[in-house]
Amino acid sequence: MIALALPLGLMLAKSLQDATGEWVGAANYVQYFSTPALFQSIGNSLWVATLSTVITVPLAFIYAYALTRSRMTARGLFKTIALIPILVPSLLPALALVYLFGNQG
């Protein structure tokens, strides 16, 4: 709990100060939330999230339905392809280390 709460508390305390370290309270937050670009970026983020959800969920449902309810050929291959995203997070650090240290190890 300390490892999580202490850094977050320090960041919150720092956000209530200006660049010189003087206490300004919520003035930084008022300035940040008064910029119109913030609301445009929130709108863009929501638009991208909604669009990707509307596209991905039906495609994933059709893929899963085809795997479980049909007798398609190479069903095992398609099941393996569907499991690749589970394996990728563990492979990426390993590949990054290989690229970082190269062939010399």
Residue with tokens 């003035």, as numbered in its chain: 27
Residue with tokens 């085809």, as numbered in its chain: 66
Cβ atoms of 32 and 38 closer than 8 Å:
yes
DSSP output for 8-42: HHHHHHHHTB-TTS-B-TTHHHHHHHT-HHHHHHH
Predicted confidence band of residue 59 (pLDDT cuts 50, 70, 90): very high
Q: Among positive and negative, which fits the CA dihedral 62, 65, 67, 72?
A: negative
pLDDT of 30 strictly over 80: yes
pLDDT of 85 strictly over 80: yes
* Pick from 8, 28, 7: nearest CA to 17: 28
State the pTM of this model: 0.57
